[in-house]
Amino acid sequence: MTDNMRGLDLIRDVNVSLTVELGRASMMLKDVLELGEDAIVPLDRQVDELLDVYVNGKAIAKGEVVTEGGRFALRIVEMAGEKRTEETA
């Protein structure tokens, strides 16, 4: 076993926060205060764009929403630093 693998074994049980960002919106506070049930807030992401995946605030991947067993799930499509090619897109 390499030293890197032994080092990773020491931290494998550390809890981290995984966040998936659907999109963002910039609004005036007065508009936020007027939000209510059935309000629609347009986001900056297109329907066919991949979602950003963060671990403790650091971008690590891009993915897409899928359903599994009646729940939302995430399919990782691209890891940070990797670029999709037309063949895999």
Domains of the chain: 15-79 (2.30.330.10)
* Mean of all residue pLDDT scores within the chain: 89
Per-residue confidence (pLDDT) for residue 57, from 0 to 100: 95
Per-residue confidence (pLDDT) for residue 85, from 0 to 100: 61
CA-nearest of 10, 23, 17 to 58 is 17
Per-residue confidence (pLDDT) for residue 10, from 0 to 100: 86
Give every residue of the chain whose pLDDT is below 50, as ranges.
Answer: none
Question: In whole angstroms, what is the distance from residue 84 CA to residue 89 CA?
Answer: 6
Question: In whole angstroms, what is the distance from residue 36 CA to residue 62 CA?
Answer: 31
Per-residue confidence (pLDDT) for residue 2, from 0 to 100: 64
- 61's CB contacts (< 8 A; 6+ apart) are 53, 76, 77, 78, 79, 80
Do 89 and 76 meet the contact criterion of CB atoms below 8 Å apart? no
